[in-house]
Amino acid sequence: MNIAELQAYGYVAAMVILVILTYWYIYHLYTKKKDARGIDYEEYSNMALKDDVTDTPVSARSDDKEK
């Protein structure tokens, strides 16, 4: 098998795997509304809207340290 054939087989395999992974992940995203911390993924848009230095972070880094 020469390099061109290897490339072709590799390409097809990669495409199949990528398609499966992508659709699985999309399905996963749209079914699971909340993450481990109980935050809906869409709430992360608030990082832009409430971005004053005094605003409460959506998921604060200091929460980790307290644990």
Partner 1 sequence: MENRPLEYDYTVTKMFMFTTIVLGIVGMLIGVILAFELAFPEVNTILGSGVAEYTNFSRLRPLHTDAVIFGFTLSGIFATWYYVGQRVLKVSMAESGFLMFIGKLHFWLYLVGVAAVVVSLFMGITTSKEYAEFEWPIDIAIVVVWVLFGISIFGLIGIRREKSLYISVWYYIATFLGIAMLYVFNNMEIPTILGTNGIGEAGFGNWWHSVSMYAGTNDALVQWWYGHNAVAFGFTVPIVAMIYYFLPKESGQAIYSYKLSLLSFWGLMFVYLWAGGHHLLYSTVPDWVQTMGSIFSIVLILPSWGSAINMLLTMKGEWQQVASSPLIKFMILASTFYMFSTLEGPIQAIKSVNAIAHFTDWIVGHVHDGTLGWVGFMIMGALFHMAPRVFKREIYSKSLMATQFWIQTLGVVFYFTSMWIAGITQGMMWRAHDEFGNLAYSFIDTVTVLHPYYTLRAIGGTLYLVGFFIFAYNIYRTMSARPVEESELQSASPMGA
Partner 2 sequence: MFHWLEKHPFFFAVAVFVMIAFAGLVEILPNFAQASRPLIGTAPYSTLELAGRHVYIKNSCNACHSQLIRPFKSETDRYGHYSRSGEYAYDRPFLWGSKRTGPDLMRVGNYRTTDWHENHMKAPSKIVLDSIMPAFTWMFTNLADINTAYAEQLTVAQFFTVPYNQPVPMKDGSTKVVKMGATLADANALALAEAKVVAADMKDQNVKDAIARGEIPEIVALIAYLNSLK
* Contact residues: partner 2, CB under 8 A: 3, 7, 25, 35, 41, 59
Q: Which DSSP letter does residue 37 get?
A: T
- Per CB under 8 A, residues contacting partner 1 are 4, 7, 18, 22, 26, 29-30, 41-42, 44-49, 51-55, 57-64
> Minimum CB separation from partner 1 for residue 48, in Å?
5
Question: Residues 34, 22: contact at Cβ < 8 Å?
Answer: no
CB of 9 to partner 1, least distance (A): 14
Torsion angle of C-alpha atoms 21, 22, 23, 24, degrees rounded to 10: 40
How far apart are CB 27 and partner 1 at their closest, in Å? 11
